[in-house]
């Protein structure tokens, strides 16, 4: 009994301190210092360790903590959808200044919660609320035109493909996923009008064995460059590419670099990755928040020129992609930035 009551005391203490902090949320951005940092929660509707999307966001938080007066708590809600809303609400209720959550899975909850917590700022990355329909003055939507980066990777892939057959593997079909492919297909066709692009939908983001089988099937059907856009499922596809000695395009983060330490052979086949620089963009958004320049209440659509998307130009890119192709890719990149080439996108 005594043990229990001591718990209650601790809890009461915790709650009290939390409410004091909540009451003392400073309105003026300049107040934040290293000793009185802006309190940020990165709420992931999943877990860390996906080696792409969520991990990249977490990397961005680390970078932000290094050079900004922020303290970040990463909250992993897991894969039980019925707990996501509750988890986000709990974060909003726990005295954070900024809550970061991503994708359309969380947008609805952000839309509902933001009017209830007007003093808390919300960053909705990789999706956006419909600002015409909601009272979301404290929400910042951050979206990425990944099609443009996909275009670059598709161009390079078609150029280095010997068979003229490419494979794409989607985890599921929704715009943030298909946008990669939309750009990739355009780029590939631009490089080689006769290119044959195989496509498969795995139906899951967490079935690597299946991702591996699908990639093997595509390779068997002639594909020599595979582009999995499928989270954990895609990790399996990369393994198939490694085993078959073909080439792959990574997704979201620089996957070759991620594998370099634990599995160098895996890194050797990923000639580039289509980067959705989530971490980088969030880092920027936090900086802008502290500066007071972040356009809350609107959506930001970030592209190549914002350094929010792109392809990884690392040592493997240098090694596996011939210099002339690299030069062409750089030229195209400039044309996209200048608007000379317009890449169709699924992001509206």
Partner 1 sequence: MMDIFLTVFSATFFVTIIRTTTPLLLATLGGLVADLSGALNVALEGMMLIGCLTAVIVSVYAPWYVAVLAGLGVGGLLGAMMAFFAYRLKADIILVGFAVNILAAGGTVFALALATGGDKGTSINLQSQAIPAVDLSFLSAIPGIGPILTAFLSGHSVLSWLAAFLVFAVWYFLFRTPWGLWLRGVGEYPGAPEAAGIPVAKVRTWSLVVSGALAGLGGAQLAMFNYVGFTRDMTAGRGFIALGAVLLGARHPVGALLAALLFGTFEAFAVVLPGLFNWMPAELIRMIPFVVTIAALVLFSIRAQRALAMRGVK
Partner 2 sequence: MSNVPAIDKSIRFKAFRQEVTRSVGALVIALAVTTVIVFLTSKAPLDALTQLFTAPAAKTRTIGLWVDDIAKLTLTGLAFSLVFQARQFAMGVQGQVYIGAIAASFVVLSPIGTTPFGLAAGVLAAMAAGAFYGFLPGIAKAKLGANEIVSSLMLNYIAIELCNFLVRTSLPLPQAGVLTTVDFPEQSVLPALVANTRIDLGLIFAIVAVLVVWFALYRTSWGLKLRLVGHNARFAEYSGIKSTFIMVSAMTASGALGGLLGAVFVQGQTWGKLTVQFEGGLAFEGILVAIVARSRPLAVPIVAIFYAYLRQGASLMNVRTDVPAEVIGVVTAIIILLVSSSFSVNFVSKLFRRAPAAAAVQSAAK
Query: Would you say 127 or 207 has its CB closer to partner 1?
Result: 207
The partner residues of 249 in beta bridges, in order of sequence, read 272
Stretch that binds partner 2, among 100-108, 271-279, 282-290, 324-332 (CB under 8 A): 100-108
- 201 is in the binding site of which of partner 1, partner 2, none (Cβ under 5 to 8 A by kind)? partner 1
Task: Determine which residue in the list 104, 131, 164, 257 makes contact with partner 2, applying CB under 8 A.
Answer: 104
Is residue 43 within the footprint of partner 1 (CB under 8 A)?
no
Query: Would you say 5 or 262 has its CB closer to partner 1?
Result: 262
Query: In whole angstroms, how close is the CB of 73 to partner 2 at the nearest point?
Result: 9
- Which residue in the block uniquely carries the two structure tokens 């370099």? 260
- Which residue in the block uniquely carries the two structure tokens 């690392």? 314
Query: In whole angstroms, how close is the CB of 210 to partner 1 at the nearest point?
Result: 7
Nearest to 199 by CA among 166, 225, 231, 164: 166
The 3 state secondary structure assigned to 226-244 is EEEECHHHHHHHHHHHHHH
Is residue 257 within the footprint of partner 1 (CB under 8 A)?
no
Residue 212 CB coordination number (10 Å): 22
Q: Which stretches of the chain are assigned E, i.e. beta strand? A: 38-44, 70-76, 98-102, 121-125, 139-144, 165-170, 196-201, 225-229, 247-252, 270-276, 299-302, 309-311
- Which residue in the block uniquely carries the two structure tokens 């496509």? 199
- Which residue in the block uniquely carries the two structure tokens 């990149």? 333
Is residue 48 within the footprint of partner 2 (CB under 8 A)?
no
Query: In whole angstroms, how close is the CB of 174 to partner 2 at the nearest point?
Result: 3
Distance CA 187, CA 149 (A): 9
Is residue 207 within the footprint of partner 1 (CB under 8 A)?
yes
Q: Per the structure block, which two tokens stand in for 348?
A: 């509206």
Task: Determine which residue in the list 87, 95, 228, 236 makes contact with partner 1, applying CB under 8 A.
Answer: 236
Query: Would you say 5 or 220 has its CB closer to partner 1?
Result: 220
Annotate each residue in 57-76 with x if it binds partner 1 (CB under 8 A) or - if it does not, as one string: -------------------x
- 16 is in the binding site of which of partner 2, partner 1, none (Cβ under 5 to 8 A by kind)? none
Is residue 75 within the footprint of partner 2 (CB under 8 A)?
yes
């Amino acid at each position: 009994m005594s043990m229990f009551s001591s718990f209650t005391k601790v809890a009461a203490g915790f709650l009290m301190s939390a409410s004091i902090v909540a009451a003392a949320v400073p309105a003026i951005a300049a107040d934040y210092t290293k000793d009185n940092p802006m309190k940020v929660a990165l709420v992931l509707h999943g877990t860390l360790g996906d080696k792409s999307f969520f991990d990249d966001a977490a990397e961005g938080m680390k970078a932000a903590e290094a050079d900004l007066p922020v303290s970040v708590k990463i909250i992993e809600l897991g894969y039980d959808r019925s707990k996501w809303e509750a988890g986000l609400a709990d974060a909003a209720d726990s005295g954070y200044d900024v809550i970061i959550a991503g994708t359309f899975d969380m947008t609805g909850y952000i839309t509902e919660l933001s009017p209830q917590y007007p003093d808390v700022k919300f960053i909705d990355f990789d999706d956006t609320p419909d600002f015409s329909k909601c009272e979301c003055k404290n929400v910042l939507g951050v979206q990425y035109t990944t099609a443009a980066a996909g275009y670059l990777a598709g161009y390079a892939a078609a150029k280095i493909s010997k068979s003229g057959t490419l494979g794409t593997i989607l985890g599921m079909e929704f715009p943030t996923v298909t946008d990669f492919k939309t750009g990739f297909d355009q780029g590939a066709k631009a490089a080689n009008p006769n290119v044959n692009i195989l496509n498969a939908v795995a139906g899951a983001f967490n079935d690597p064995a299946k991702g591996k089988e699908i990639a093997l099937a595509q390779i068997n059907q002639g594909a020599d460059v595979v582009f999995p856009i499928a989270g954990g499922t895609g990790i399996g596809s990369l393994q198939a590419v490694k085993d078959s000695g073909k080439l792959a395009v990574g997704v979201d983060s620089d996957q070759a670099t991620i594998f370099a330490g634990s599995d160098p052979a895996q890194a050797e086949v990923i000639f580039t990755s289509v980067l959705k620089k989530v971490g980088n963009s969030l880092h920027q958004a936090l900086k802008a928040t502290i500066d007071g320049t972040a356009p809350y209440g609107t959506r930001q659509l970030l592209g190549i020129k914002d350094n929010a998307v792109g392809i990884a130009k690392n040592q493997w890119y240098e090694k596996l992609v011939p210099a002339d192709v690299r030069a062409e890719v750089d030229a195209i990149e400039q044309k996209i930035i200048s608007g000379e080439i317009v890449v169709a996108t699924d992001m509206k």
